[in-house]
Chain A
Amino acid sequence: MIPLLAQIFAQAATEVGTQAGELVDGLSAIGAGIGYGAAAIGPGIGIGLVVGNAITAMARQPEAAGMVRTTMFLGIAFTEALALIGFVVFILINFA
């Protein structure tokens, strides 16, 4: 599937007269975009769960709000790391 697509793109590229390097640049930009989008799905759901449950906990026990908030930030930090790695990969593919 993918080699076939690449072949079609390459043929199209030669027909309109672009260089092979430009094709690779374009495809890697597409890949970076899709990659970042995919990397953001899981952490998005995860952070939603973490914060939602933290709010439930705070509403049930307002006196424990301080402790819950600290733990919530910890949970967010761990969850968010994956999305941020996706962002770094995006930057690396596009600019490095």
Chain B
Amino acid sequence: MNALLALEFPPVSHLLEWPDFALKGNEYFAFNKIALLSVLAAVFSIAVIWFGARKAQLVPTRGQTLAESVVEFVRENVVMQTMGAAGLGWMPFLTSVFLFIFFCNIFEIIPGIQMPVTARMAIPAALALLVWVLYNAVGIKKQGFFGYLKSSLLPPGVPKALLPLVMLIEFVSTFLIRPFSLAVRLFANMLAGHLLLVTFAVLTAAVWSATPLALIVPVTFATLVALTMFEVLVAVLQAFIFTILTAVYINLASHADH
């Protein structure tokens, strides 16, 4: 229970596998803290939009202002910058992705939770797989199967002799590296941030003693506070980067010329 509320430092093996607290031992439906938090993140994302848009008025209430600022941020900084006005139809999907990843990330610094859901490979991998399926489906729908393969594997203006090599490189980078790096970027950023916070929290606790070492407590604690603020920035930035890369990939797949 203490580990669940982030009151004690869990063993390092929990980095890869967190113990279940409900339906223990069940192979498919076992439930742990990470699963609970990911459900909460989905509920929060829905709630922000639901309560913001339920009674939309000309003069917005506080909830509506919050929801509108999120939507406007995604529209101005993600869609308009990468896809232009033609991509406004992707707004609902991109906003949902942004909000969900943001809530998954921000659990990292909420006292009593302090576990970013995206620091487990499962959620970033599932999201990256979704994006992979989506941009390939868009490409096949817009350009046809062979047209999509041709436009993604054959960059214009390549000498004939180099074509096999270029095609191989483009295939690996478009269909294998893209989803992999999309997932790993989110996962590794959040895991690294989480470990950084854990390191300084444990260090502060370790030097908190009646020895001369206690003199450096202010330094380590100030670093911990500063890093916590930095992690807020990272949480927003990683959600933003995942969303904008999704938009870029969908945009690349839907146009023949690039």
Tell me whether B248 and A91 are in contact (CB under 8 A).
no
Q: A81's contact among B15, B82, B185, by CB below 8 Å, is which?
A: B185
Tell me whether A88 and B184 are in contact (CB under 8 A).
yes
User: Does residue A45 face the partner (Cβ distance < 8 Å to B)?
Assistant: no
User: Does residue B187 face the partner (Cβ distance < 8 Å to A)?
Assistant: yes
- Interface residue tally for chain A (C-beta within 8 Å): 16
Nearest residue (CB) in A for B181 is A81
Interface locus among B42-50, B86-94, B204-212, B238-246: B238-246
Bound state CA distance, A78 and B82, in angstroms?
A: 16
- Interface residue tally for chain B (C-beta within 8 Å): 21
Bound state CA distance, A74 and B244, in angstroms?
A: 8
Question: SS class of chain A's interface: helix, strand, loop or mixed?
Answer: helix
Tell me whether A74 and B248 are in contact (CB under 8 A).
yes
Tell me whether B16 and A84 are in contact (CB under 8 A).
no
Bound state CA distance, A91 and B185, in angstroms?
A: 14
Q: A70's contact among B77, B184, B185, by CB below 8 Å, is which?
A: B77
Bound state CA distance, A80 and B185, in angstroms?
A: 8
Bound state CA distance, A80 and B187, in angstroms?
A: 13
- Residues from chain A with Cβ under 8 Å of B244 in the complex: 70, 73-74
Q: Which residues of chain B from 14 to 43 have any CB-CB distance to chain A below 8 Å in the complex?
A: 15-16
- Residues from chain B with Cβ under 8 Å of A78 in the complex: 181
- Residues from chain A with Cβ under 8 Å of B4 in the complex: none
Q: A70-B244, A95-B13, A96-B16 are in contact. Are A81 and B81 (CB under 8 A)?
A: no
User: Does residue A77 face the partner (Cβ distance < 8 Å to B)?
Assistant: yes
- Residues from chain A with Cβ under 8 Å of B192 in the complex: 84, 87
Bound state CA distance, A84 and B190, in angstroms?
A: 10
Tell me whether A84 and B237 are in contact (CB under 8 A).
no
Q: A70-B244, A87-B192, A91-B191 are in contact. Are A77 and B15 (CB under 8 A)?
A: no
Tell me whether A88 and B187 are in contact (CB under 8 A).
yes
- Residues from chain A with Cβ under 8 Å of B185 in the complex: 77, 80-81, 84
- Residues from chain A with Cβ under 8 Å of B16 in the complex: 95-96
B interface with A by C-beta (< 8 Å)? 12-13, 15-16, 77, 81-82, 181, 184-185, 187-189, 191-192, 237, 240-241, 244-245, 248
